Amino acid sequence: MIVFPTGDQLHPYRQALIAGEYDLEVSSPGIDRPLVRLSDFERYAGHEVKLETIAPITPADGRRRYKGRIVGVEEELVRMLCEGEEITFSFENIASAKLVLTDELIKASLGTQ
């Protein structure tokens, strides 16, 4: 929020900042939103996610990117089914996670499951 003083104390750059008309656009993160809180993973259990870890789960394979379905959350752990294998991720090791846009997710967001 930008607040300008009134009267003789008007900011000298005010005219340059808001000269003419402008449109303020506000948007939501969208249906395929990023998951940033542990509660996000709980809320979207059963849905597909693309996830990247900070460090590999097993140093031997070096893999950091996964795509799968959220199975559930237990304490600080996120369980996912990836390529037929259940993998457990420490929440603190998740660098980024984003819902994958699927028909199921669209139906769930519209409340028509």
Domains of the chain as residue ranges with CATH = 30-110 (2.30.30.180)
The pTM (predicted TM-score) of the whole model is: 0.69
Contact 80, 89 (CB under 8 A): yes
Rg (CA), the chain: 21
Q: What pLDDT, on the 0 to 100 scale, is given for residue 24?
A: 66
Average pLDDT of 74-79?
Answer: 96
Average pLDDT of 2-9?
Answer: 55
Q: Which residue did the predictor score with more confidence, 60 or 77?
A: 77
* 39 band by pLDDT with thresholds 50, 70 and 90: very high
pLDDT at residue 13 is higher than 60: no
